[in-house]
């Protein structure tokens, strides 16, 4: 019997992949940028388990969301308790915040996470049943300045990866009160066109009419073109918040489009919402997004503290990089490859390599019958240098050092060979 990976999953390998974005060095590079940029913005890592009680996600994300109603990976443990693999990061992080009483340890809190999420959906480009997200959550500060900071962080993350040709849409969902007023106005507008709505939007009409705005059905989108705008129903405080945010983004030289139909996919969002679009991903073109959730902690019986966050899918990020021709060097390539042309030479090369490794200089040993074969292997490993040791070199107490980038070589005395390498390493 042969075993194959389940549908909708993928392996990330150092080589031998069918698609370039599955190469591990792309993932290492993106993760290194994540860990660097969060330091600049003052965010600290928080890790949660990959599964939690199912009711946590039902309550946090909302029963009417597609993820909860269609896409959860849910199972019963041996005690017959319903558990689910985490489909997103916010609900679990809020649970951890409340459980560990982190609100007692400061006024403002800024966290980030990076890891796998799970959704049972039809696999397609950029959407997989196990996917990976980088996200941030900032708790305790209601200011529009924090909204601008979070949006700027997300865009700077893409910028540091070299990604271009992105656009950002923003909207405000207001308070629960203004949303309820708007929901009634939207239902009144759509009432005469109810039979023309998609089946999914008809189901949302009574349960959560704002979710109709998120419909991807072309006919629904046509009907919504003349729908009332949620922005017209905002309370004065929310209008002021949104106006300040727009001004701050302009002052940060961030171009944006106000989209009154943008609601995002989860019920916990209120006030600011935003979404970043890549123009090279086809139909599934949202690369990241987020928004405020000023009442989420309170709904979990936690403290009444506002919050805002975003999440971005790493698969789509890496695919966008590759589509834009952004190449990433494999940082795990050895700095030097020792090419041993006979048995005694291999013994010497092995110990030289070990001494260099102890000094944090990456080294590899290759056994080859012919120099050319060894050099081919060293080039395949993307080494900078090759050190060649054969019968003649051992007789002369020398070793050939070849610069594979400059295509230059020289014979060096064995006695001073390691010191020469260490000098080259420090000077690079």
User: In terms of C-beta density within 10 A (0-12 exposed, 13-18 middle, 19 or more buried), how is residue 350 classed?
Assistant: middle
User: What's the alpha-carbon Rg for the chain, to the nearest Å?
Assistant: 28
Q: Please choose, from the candidates 424, 396, 329, the residue with its C-alpha nearest in 3D space to the C-alpha of residue 32.
A: 329
Q: pLDDT per residue over 103-155, tens digit each?
A: 999 999 999 999 999 998 777 766 799 999 999 999 999 999 999 999 999 99
Q: pLDDT per residue over 53-106, tens digit each?
A: 999 988 866 665 666 666 889 999 999 999 999 999 999 999 999 999 999 999
What are the residue ranges spanned by the domains of the chain?
A: 20-174+234-323, 336-427
Q: Please choose, from the candidates 351, 424, 411, 356, the residue with its C-alpha nearest in 3D space to the C-alpha of residue 384.
A: 424
Residue predicted with more confidence, 193 or 310: 310
Contact 263, 210 (CB under 8 A): yes
Q: Please choose, from the candidates 286, 281, 275, 274, the residue with its C-alpha nearest in 3D space to the C-alpha of residue 321.
A: 281
Instruction: Reply yes or no on domain 336-427 having CATH 3.90.1280.20.
Output: no
Bridge partners of residue 133, in order along the sequence: 115, 313
Contact 276, 287 (CB under 8 A): yes
The pTM assigned to this predicted structure is 0.89
CATH number of 20-174+234-323: 3.30.930.10
Q: pLDDT per residue over 294-320, tens digit each?
A: 999 999 999 999 999 999 999 999 999
Contact 276, 316 (CB under 8 A): no
How does residue 9 score in pLDDT terms, banded at 50, 70 and 90?
very high
């Amino acid at each position: 019997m042969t075993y194959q990976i389940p549908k909708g999953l993928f392996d990330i390998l150092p080589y031998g992949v069918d698609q370039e974005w599955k190469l591990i060095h792309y993932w290492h590079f993106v993760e290194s940028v994540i860990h660097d940029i969060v330091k600049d913005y003052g965010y600290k890592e928080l890790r949660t388990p990959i599964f939690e009680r199912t009711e946590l996600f039902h309550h946090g994300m909302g029963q009417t969301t597609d993820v909860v109603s269609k896409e959860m990976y849910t199972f019963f443990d041996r005690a017959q308790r319903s558990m689910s693999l985490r489909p997103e990061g916010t609900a679990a992080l809020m649970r951890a915040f409340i459980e560990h009483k982190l609100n007692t340890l400061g006024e403002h809190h800024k966290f980030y996470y990076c890891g796998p999420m799970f959704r049972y959906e039809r696999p397609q480009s950029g959407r997989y049943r196990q996917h990976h997200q980088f996200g941030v959550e900032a708790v305790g500060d209601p200011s529009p300045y924090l909204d601008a900071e979070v949006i700027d962080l997300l865009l700077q993350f893409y910028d540091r990866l070299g990604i271009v040709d992105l656009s950002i849409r923003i909207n405000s969902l207001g308070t629960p009160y203004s949303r309820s007023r708007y929901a009634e106005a939207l239902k009144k507008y759509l009432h005469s066109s109810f039979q023309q709505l998609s089946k999914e939007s008809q189901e949302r009409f009574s349960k959560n009419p704002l979710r109709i705005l998120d419909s991807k059905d072309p006919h629904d989108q046509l009907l919504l073109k003349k729908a009332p705008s949620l922005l017209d129903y905002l309370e004065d405080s929310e209008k002021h918040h949104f106006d300040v945010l727009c001004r701050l983004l302009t002052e940060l030289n961030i171009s944006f489009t106000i989209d009154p139909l943008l609601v995002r996919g989860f019920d916990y969002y209120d006030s600011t919402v935003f979404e970043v679009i890549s123009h090279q991903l086809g139909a599934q073109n949202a690369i990241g997004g987020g928004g405020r959730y000023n009442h989420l902690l309170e709904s979990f019986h936690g403290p009444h503290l506002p919050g805002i966050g975003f999440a971005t899918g790493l698969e789509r990020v890496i695919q966008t990089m590759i589509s834009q021709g952004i190449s990433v060097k494999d940082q795990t390539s050895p700095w030097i490859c020792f090419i041993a042309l006979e048995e005694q030479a291999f013994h010497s090369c092995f110990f030289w390599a070990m001494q260099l490794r102890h000094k944090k200089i990456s080294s590899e040993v290759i056994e080859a019958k012919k120099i050319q074969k060894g050099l081919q292997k060293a080039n395949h490993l993307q080494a900078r240098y090759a050190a060649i040791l054969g019968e003649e070199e051992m007789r002369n107490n020398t070793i050939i050092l070849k610069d594979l980038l400059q295509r230059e070589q020289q014979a060096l005395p064995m006695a001073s060979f390691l010191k020469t390498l260490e000098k080259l390493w420090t000077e690079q």
